[in-house]
């Protein structure tokens, strides 16, 4: 079986696709978490997994629970946007619980999405149809051991950690910042001051994952993390 191509950076190994399909095959709705450092490809991978299941999976990212810029300014956290305490983690946990209990009730669950061109979340911009057997949610902090993140993890049936070699991942990260308006020097400064410390905390939590994914240069596979 050939690899399923995501884009020109990443493809998915058939064994990974088979494991995702198995999660969607059970009698109850399941929730799969994807976690990794910033710009590791979580969003791209989650979207591709959902697409591969052809309507049997919904993609609901954690990023919809970014605090608004207004709230970050009020709290004095705008310069640390992306850190764990710049998300509504309790709201995210409550949404995951609702997604689980709504299965089989006929209820459509609406969720916020985050839009980088605005740098703001938008309420009710994503939806989980009532007959969707698998929900994929990706985010940076699904495995942190401080509140409220353990309660978030408790709502997940499995958590897979996506590892990408640091130099390549940071190259993608700088490119993403520049794509959404920062100069190269601004992008590198933000990465050094904010993204890199966050990434170190995320990497330190990787051992709590149920399975490890690694991008080997051509394909996302199940494996041990990079050294």
Q: What is the pLDDT of residues 189-222, one digit of tens each?
A: 999 999 999 999 999 999 999 999 998 778 999 9
3-class secondary-structure state, position 216: coil
Does the pLDDT value for residue 225 go beyond 70?
no
The answer to whether 107 and 55 have CB atoms below 8 angstroms apart is no
Q: Tell me: the pLDDT tens digits for 61-97?
A: 999 999 999 999 999 999 999 999 999 999 999 999 9
Percent of the chain scoring above 70 in pLDDT: 94
3-state secondary structure 72-133: HHHHCCHHHCCCHHHECHHHHHHHHHHHHHHCCCCCCEEEEEEECCCCEEEEEEEEECCCCC
Does the pLDDT value for residue 15 go beyond 80?
yes
Tokens matching residue 155: 């709502």
Question: 80-84: which pairs have CB atoms within 8 A and are 24 or more residues apart?
Answer: 80/194, 81/119, 81/194, 82/38, 82/140, 82/194, 82/195, 82/198, 83/194, 83/198, 84/140, 84/141, 84/144, 84/146, 84/149, 84/198, 84/201
Sign of the alpha-carbon torsion through 96, 116, 203, 193: negative
Does the pLDDT value for residue 137 go beyond 80?
yes
Return d(Cα 26, Cα 41) in angstroms, integer: 27
Q: In whole numbers, what is the pLDDT of the chain averaged over residues?
A: 92
- Report the pLDDT value the prediction gives residue 224, as an integer from 0 to 100: 57
**pTM listed for this prediction:** 0.91
- Report the pLDDT value the prediction gives residue 6, as an integer from 0 to 100: 40
pLDDT confidence tier of residue 105, bands split at 50, 70 and 90: very high
The answer to whether 39 and 172 have CB atoms below 8 angstroms apart is yes
Q: Which of 26-30, 56-60, 218-222 has the highest mean pLDDT?
A: 56-60
The answer to whether 36 and 215 have CB atoms below 8 angstroms apart is no
């Amino acid at each position: 079986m050939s690899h399923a191509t995501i884009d020109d950076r990443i493809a998915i190994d058939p064994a990974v696709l088979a494991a995702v399909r198995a999660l969607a095959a059970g009698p109850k709705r399941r929730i799969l978490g994807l976690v990794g450092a910033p710009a590791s490809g979580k969003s791209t991978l989650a979207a591709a997994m959902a697409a591969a299941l052809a309507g049997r999976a919904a993609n609901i990212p954690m990023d919809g629970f970014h605090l608004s810029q207004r709230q970050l300014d009020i709290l004095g956290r705008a310069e640390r946007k992306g850190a764990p305490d710049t998300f509504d983690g309790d709201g995210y946990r409550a949404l995951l619980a609702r997604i689980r209990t709504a299965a089989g009730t006929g209820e459509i669950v609406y969720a916020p999405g985050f839009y980088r061109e605005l740098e703001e979340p938008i309420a009710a911009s994503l939806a989980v149809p009532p007959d969707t057997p698998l929900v994929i949610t990706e985010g940076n902090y699904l495995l942190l051991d401080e509140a409220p993140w353990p309660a978030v993890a408790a709502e997940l049936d499995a958590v897979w950690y996506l590892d990408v070699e640091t130099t390549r991942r940071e190259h993608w990260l700088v490119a993403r910042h520049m794509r959404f308006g920062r100069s190269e020097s601004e992008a590198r400064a933000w990465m050094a001051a904010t993204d890199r410390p966050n990434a170190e905390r995320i990497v330190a939590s990787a051992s709590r994952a149920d399975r490890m994914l690694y991008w080997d240069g051509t394909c996302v596979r199940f494996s041990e993390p990079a050294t």
